[in-house]
Amino acid sequence: MIKRTLHFGNPTYLNTRNEQLVVNYPEKDSVSKTVPIEDLGVIVLEHAQITISNALMSKLMLNNVVVVHCNPQHMPQSMTLSLYGHSEFNERIRQQLTASVPLKKNLWQQTVERKITNQLAYLRSTGYATKKELDKLTDLSRTVLSGDTQNNEGQAAAIYWNTIFGIEGFTRGRKEGTPNNLLNYGYAILRAVCARAIVGSGLLPGYGIFHANKYNAYCLADDIMEPYRPYVDTVVGDLVKEGAVQSDLTPELKRRLLMIPALDVVIEGKKSPLLVAMSRTTSSLSDCFAGISRKINYPDYGSGSVQSA
């Protein structure tokens, strides 16, 4: 069963009773609501006057629920994860930390290849890119070297962001104009889903295969989420087509972006919600560190349509 994503954007009291998340509102005569904790995957807290009990946080962490905290500008700022989420945690992180450099370079090569392939598939579906641009992306996806030493990822990004939404002069950046705000919000949700899956597979989200910024606590999440980014781009692209993009993130825009974990994606011919697929990806990564496999199971955007709500 797909785990649920809950968003709280008003003053709320969150606690627990009988393995349920209990939601209470400060208004008089308000009725409490309950949700089984085992059904939850992601919780987004977006108001300064939300109170959450320690007992509830403990149960959320026990069930590997990731809690995303937003800043005063209503953008995801940080997340709370369980310290460990697998019975073989010590063994698995030992394998992760001792992985050889050639293995990590090969894993990054696979990651970049699939990222570019998925970007190419999405651009084809939009009709915004020229044949020359699509041919160049095809060539870049097929010529990624171990460790991506020729920076095919960066070359592909230059083409991708220039054509992705059909917006003349669009520039991708965290502080640039809309629809970058939608992308930032969507990627933050995707990052939380990825970090949750990494912990559930017994790995450390801070120790990457390519990203290695000493100030980044989620280097591995930033590695593994790369081929999944076009699914976020799809949701944002649909909103752009609908003319729904604006500088303020309305509740409806957030609702659409919070559906990202439930998007249908395809891995090796099998369709599943993105949140479930991410766990398949991180499990296969753990197998690579253990020497059981040398292939990461990433989604194939071209194998099926993305269904956004």
Among 287, 292, 291, 293, residue whose Cα is nearest residue 86:
287
Amino acid at 246: Q
- For 266-290, b where at least 16 C-beta lie within 10 A, e where not — what string? bbeeeebbbbbbbbbbbbbbbbbbe
Q: How far apart are the first and last CA of the chain?
A: 18
Given a contact cutoff of 8 angstroms between Cβ atoms, the answer to whether 236 and 246 are in contact is no
According to the annotation, is 7 in a ligand binding site?
A: no
Residues 6+ apart with CB under 8 A from 302: 117, 118, 120, 121, 124
According to the annotation, is 211 in a ligand binding site?
A: yes
Distance, in Å, from the CA atom of 98 to the CA atom of 240, rounded to the nearest integer, reads 44
According to the annotation, is 153 in a ligand binding site?
A: yes
Q: Which residues are annotated as a binding site?
A: 153, 211, 226
Q: Which residues are annotated as a binding site for Mn(2+)?
A: 153, 211, 226
